Copies of this chain bind each other. A is one copy, B any other.
């Protein structure tokens, strides 16, 4: 089988997998720290020794953004997740045959974009070709995508991961959210609170600081409550997406566990498909596209 390289190139991380061996390497040279002219060198620095002759490289993620290596214009919905084909990139090293998976965009009912998650969705559909339901891809920017007949019908982005990271790093709450503990009981209680009374969310945040100042509330409890409030608010906003639907969750292990617990508490039994494997399956499906 021909060697090729699957690349997941996001804002903060460059992750390359040599196929079919599945050896994986990663570096911190994400799109966020690279000028457009620096992508080829960053790739060769990481995997130059894998290039033994003409080699196809299939990449997804922010590498295809306007500020990336080369812009891969968004495909408009409804669309197959890889329906727009790949964008070829000119390289200085003639052995490299680099192709980027375009993201998806939607203009109605609300503006939204994704880059990278379309590849995970392609992986989910490679795994379950007849899946009709909702793909929940939790992360920095969680995506909820409605999949039917092999197409993405619509999607919705919620910034839950970035909100949690920002609140616990850059606001007064940071003093009360130290460590990385997490406990399921206060998490689920906060999810339930946010779902049943979403209008109270804005007033719940400062309680985490006050409870620390007044009676030394444990930071792991506070983190679990904040996580529950934010995921609960996300589930409140996306209720029409998941209520009574088949849901697949594709995320990192820890994040998937939280979303799975939150949705199970609402009576759903999501299917879980790991994110890295779905990215690889999606890039594999993309490899031979024109």
Which A residues form the contact surface with B (CB < 8 A)?
Answer: 105, 107, 110-113, 141, 156-160, 162-163, 166-167, 169-173, 198-207, 209-211, 213-215, 230, 233-234, 236-239
Residues of B contacting A213 with CB < 8 Å?
105, 111, 113
> Known: A170-B170, A199-B236. Is A113-B158 also a contact (CB below 8 A)?
no
User: Which of B105, B172, B206, B230 contacts A202, CB < 8 Å?
Assistant: B230
- Given A107-B214, A157-B206, 5 more contacts at CB 8 Å? A111-B210, A111-B215, A112-B206, A158-B206, A201-B237
Residues of B within 8 Å of A157, CB to CB, are: 203, 206, 210
Integer count of this chain's copies in the complex: 2
> In the complex, which of the residues A107, A200, A215, A234 has the most CB atoms of chain B within 10 Å of its own CB atom?
A200
Indicate if the CB atoms of A201 and B203 lie closer than 8 Å: no
Residues of B within 8 A of A167 (CB): 166
Contact A113 B201, CB 8 Å, known A162-B171, A172-B162, A206-B158: no
Q: Is the CB of B166 within 8 A of A171?
A: yes
Q: Once the chains are docked, how many angstroms separate the CA of A207 from the CA of B156?
A: 9
Give min CB distance, A124 to chain B, whole Å. Answer: 21
| Nearest-CB residue, chain B, relative to A195 | B199
Specify the main secondary structure of chain A where it touches its partner. helix
5 tightest Cβ-Cβ pairs between the two chains A and B:
A203-B237, A198-B199, A111-B210, A199-B236, A157-B206
Docked-complex contact A111 and B207, CB < 8 angstroms: yes
Report Cα–Cα, A209/B162, bound state, in Å: 13
Collect the chain B residues with CB atoms within 8 Å of residue A238's CB.
203
Task: Please give, as numbers and ranges, the residues of chain B lying within 8 Å of A169 by CB-CB distance.
Answer: 170
Cβ contacts A to B, 23 pairs, < 8 Å = A105-B210, A105-B213, A105-B214, A107-B215, A111-B213, A111-B214, A113-B209, A113-B210, A113-B214, A157-B203, A157-B206, A158-B205, A159-B172, A163-B171, A163-B205, A169-B170, A198-B198, A198-B199, A198-B201, A200-B236, A201-B233, A202-B230, A203-B234
Residue of A158, A173, A210 with most partner-chain B CB within 10 A: A210
Chain B residues with CB under 8 Å of A204's CB are 237
